Every structure is written in C-alpha cells, then in structure tokens.
Amino acid sequence: MMSNTKFPYALVFTYDNDDQFTAGQYCSLRDALQAKIRAKAEIGETDITGRRLETITVLTEGGNETN
C-alpha cells in the first residue's frame, strides 16, 4: 500500500554551476535542520561530476527558505 505522507521540508544543495539537487525531504523542521548541519562539511567540496557545493538550503512546502 502506498503512503500519502507529505514532507513539508526539503534540503536543497546548490552548486557552483547553479544546478540544484533535492538531497532529502523531511517531516519536521528539526530533522531538516539536523541534516543541514551534518551536510555543512560538504560545502566547498567537489562531487564526482566536478561541481562544487556552494549552499545548502531548507525549503518549506511552499518554496520559502527557512533559516
């Protein structure tokens, strides 16, 4: 059976070439912010495709950025 769980928070990575990647979706702001803290060490690192991670953002369901 398929779940209709909504994930109101998304963790979005933005790279130096302006590509964006949704790295995760979360049910609570707390979980999203914890994931952001864990991922901060990757800022400035280059991935396998040669892109450098510039920013990590938590977005709410409506697309608004959270701090």
Residue-level pLDDT at 17: 95
- Alpha-carbon span 62 to 1, nearest angstrom: 27
- Is 6 a residue whose pLDDT tops 90? no
The answer to whether residues 30 and 38 touch, using CB atoms and an 8 Å cutoff, is no
Structure confidence by residue, pLDDT tens digits, 7-65: 899 999 999 999 999 999 999 999 999 999 999 999 999 999 999 999 999 999 876 55
Pairing of strands 9-15, 53-60: antiparallel
- Alpha-carbon span 57 to 55, nearest angstrom: 6
